[in-house]
Amino acid sequence: MRISVQLKEVGPNRVKVTGGRGSGRPNKYKAVIGYQAGYIAEGEISIGGFEAGIRANLLAEAVATRIKE
């Protein structure tokens, strides 16, 4: 399968995205979090298995603490 995503600037802080595809929400947890602080960084944490919700909450607290520092 080949997916060709195209981006086109359509105005200030506006981008049109075409050619992508997605799927419905999962039955479990899924989150995307953005934070602006004058730098660009990207990270991903995957959590699955037993008590994933508990571990996700612990990680969310840890990330929030680090962002505040």
Q: What is the pLDDT along the chain (69 residues), one digit of tens a residue?
A: 677 889 999 999 899 999 888 877 777 777 777 777 777 777 788 888 888 889 989 998 998 898 886
Sign of the CA dihedral with 61 first, then 37, 7, and 9 last? positive
Write down the pTM of the prediction. 0.46
> Which helix (H) or strand (E) covers residue 14, if one does?
strand 14-18
